[in-house]
Structure 1
Amino acid sequence: MIRFAPVALAAALSLAGCAHTPKATAPMPVPASSASASAPAPAGPAADDNLNAVAWSQNASEHDFIYLQTYRDATEKLLKAKKDPTWDALPKADRAAHPSLKGLKPAVILDIDETVLDNSPYQARLVRSGGEFDEAAWAAWCKEAIARPLPGALEFTKFAADHGVAVFYISNRAKDLDEATLANLRSAGFPVADKSSFLGLGTFVEGCEQAGSEKGCRRQLVGKDHRVLMQFGDQIGDFTDVYGNNAEGRAKAMAPYTAWIGERWFVLPNPTYGAWESALFDNDYGLPRSGRRAKKIESLRTN
């Protein structure tokens, strides 16, 4: 259907009237519906690049199916991995700290955010307000302790615990969020043997110097007494340390372990945030939002 602007429509109707009568006629009044169509849109937050990502995470059935598919696949493979005394999912650098697998108890390691707990409501609040991530608002969300389990995560972790496999959660949530995080995991129904099941940022590991927020030291702590059967996460850093967060560094970190994807390492989707995003603008959060967006647009391939 062709749409006419209100003025052009009025003029067209006026000329049509002249064809039927020699007398000049007054311009046709603009209908109220046309006038309202040209009114300015109500003010609101600026368009947000994260809108589609958050909307997909919360509303797409495909999102839930990917999680179910991943956790169901892992469940089917878990007991086979447990029976194989040589099976271990720690990267070589982490296992080197405690190389012998003999006598180690079985365990799995899972990230928390966007791996077992759904934080999309926090992202949705940012989209609605037009704001960006900040530590205070994030901490406040975590302390609400209302994040829901992601599809399949609860069933998998319960299955693991029921079959004698220890469940560890390694997260980069700040140390002061430990209690709130444990409360959220427990209220959501996840198996938590005790406080040592959760290893947050700042966990001290004797003899290991943590590099930034890398999780290697904490994985080594689990590996001291456990043979790690599987790892789960939404970031490369959930599986192995990444010492250069750029395309080359990320590829180098994963190159030795691509055969482990879907066998020992289970990667989950997170289009809303992560190291993949900051790598696109050289990890420079000092850039204004527009500058970061420009860098991301530059990264797009058109052929």
Structure 2
Amino acid sequence: MGKKTRAKTAVPAGENPRRPCPCGSGKRYKACHGAGDDVIVTRPFEGLAAECDLVAMREFLPSATAPLPLREPGDVPVTLATVLPGAAAAVVRPDGSILLGMQVQTRSGDLSADLARALRWARGATPGTALPVVGPGIAGELVRVQDVLDPAAELDVTVHPDFGWWIPPSEDGSEPGPDVTASLERANEVIMPTEPVSAPGVRAAYWVDTGTKAHLRWVRPEPEEALVAALARLQARGELALADDARYAGSFRAHGLLVPVWDLDRELHAKEWSESVAAFATRLEAALAEDAPLTDAERRARDALAGKQVTLR
């Protein structure tokens, strides 16, 4: 996705531009979001219990929705979605309900601010309209998702097999037009089967069938250094695989978090991995709790794992 340059954010009346930026970067406001262009927030959803869910919806879930747990709910429901028709930033349905898109046409360097801006636009928009991109037309005082979301609430994510939820039920029972139907069919054709892996102590772990392989993608909340050290301890002990036929493939960085990936047997359904994933979660928590320095074998394992990491831009 291309990065969109943002216009300079005006300093609100009475505000001190030398104050710490509310994005949490540690910089002064005038040197961060108040400076204008090319602000890059590497961990945009930090501090939220829903951080792992937000990263999954932004990066690899194809068709999923979740009610947005706002600090101050409005008069209409707000639903977060992976992708909306046309990769729009927001849609206000005829009944006034709001859909916010995570996978959008363009974005700035701060996904948290983009999402909050889209919500601000939607709350003042005419029902039946859409916001194609997050642009200067909804600029203003910096507001981020951390300002509007309940920080302790996780997302109740529903993964859908298709994009049928794009089209709300018609009051008169009429069918959508041919253009809408064709668009929906094209979107459904590219969906990779994806399902959550549910188990005690497991969250933001998803089974996905790419057509040639099946994978487990698991968004982890720990700081990267601590997580990699724990994975290295497990690797040195021969405990990094989920099962004999489920080897560790590597990991990717997404919005400040690490997402480990395992290759899975395509013949097994997502539900059949619950026990193995739960067992691994127990091993990982124990490894994360260890504070002894890494042994020589564990350091070698850590270096080998580093060669299997990529960063999503």
TM-score by length of 1: 0.25
Structure 1 or 2: more helix by fraction = 1
Higher RCO, 1 vs 2 (CA within 8 Å, ≥6 residues apart)? 1
Structure 1 or 2: more strand by fraction = 2
